[in-house]
Amino acid sequence: MAFDVLDEHEQGELVQKWLRENAMAIAVGIGLGLALIFGWQQWQTHKATAAAAASAQFQALTEAVAAKKDEDAQKVAAAIRSEYPQSIYSVFAALQQADLAVQKGDLNGAAEQLAWAREHAKTSPLQWLIDLRSARIKLAQGDAAAALKLADGVGADNYVALAGELRGDALAKLGRNDEARKAYEAVLAATDTQGVDRNLLQMKLDNLGASAPAAQKPAT
């Protein structure tokens, strides 16, 4: 007999029977559901608490850097990276440590910090920005070819001015002056040159001198 033709009493009996037979499964399902909801809420609370703590530590790091308390800054940065390695603040801490290393002339140390930051950065724009900073280190170490490769790897339409200036610097170091000139000119012609010193860039362009004359065809 189909369920939809049973009278109300019969339907009620069937429902109660089904509930008795499946009471344990229902209870387990409800328990698991509540546990998942509670666990998710706990995880979200934990993440929010950790993010707030990492943010507070990073604020302490920036204050130590501003006060030129390098030793304190290094300790706080190390703590952030150790305690919150998956947080964006750990990447920022590594970048700050790289800056401190550069100020001390420790280019190898700066390169190591940048490599760690690059590995833990989770977005391409941040990774490319780190690549540009690493390229500056490569240039300072005399490896213009590696610097050029990093600059060329930056995604199109991202950090156009910064990447263009870096390309020009690397090309100039490699003696490829005509290409360096074009790179500098492209940056100067861009409407958005945020992060670039236009006067310094013009000086770099002027220092390259005039472009090489085009080869003349032999007279026939």
Q: How much is the pLDDT for 142? A: 95
CA angle 17, 19, 25 (to 5 degrees): 135
Non-local CB neighbours of 3 within 8 Å, separated by 6+ positions: 11, 14
Phi and psi at 17, nearest 5°, equal -60, -45
Query: Which tokens is 176 given?
Result: 């490829």
Q: How much is the pLDDT for 3? A: 45
Query: Which tokens is 51 given?
Result: 């993010």
Q: How much is the pLDDT for 155? A: 87
| Rg of the chain in Å (alpha carbons) | 31
Which alpha helices (DSSP H) does the chain contain, by range?
Answer: 8-21, 23-66, 70-83, 88-103, 107-120, 124-140, 144-152, 160-173, 177-189, 198-207
* Spatial distance between the Cα atoms of 19 and 13, rounded to a whole number of angstroms: 10
CATH architecture of the region 123-208: Alpha Horseshoe (1.25)
* Spatial distance between the Cα atoms of 207 and 220, rounded to a whole number of angstroms: 37
Q: How much is the pLDDT for 52? A: 75
Phi and psi at 189, nearest 5°, equal -85, -15
Q: How much is the pLDDT for 157? A: 83
Phi and psi at 94, nearest 5°, equal -65, -40
Local confidence pLDDT in tens for the 220 residues of the chain: 444 554 565 666 666 666 566 666 666 667 666 566 655 455 455 456 666 788 888 888 889 888 989 999 999 999 999 898 888 999 999 999 999 999 999 999 999 999 999 999 999 999 999 999 999 999 999 999 999 999 999 988 889 899 999 999 999 999 999 999 999 999 998 877 778 888 999 999 999 876 655 444 455 4
Domain ranges of the chain: 11-104, 123-208
Q: How much is the pLDDT for 38? A: 53
Q: Are 182 and 155 in contact (CB under 8 A)?
A: no
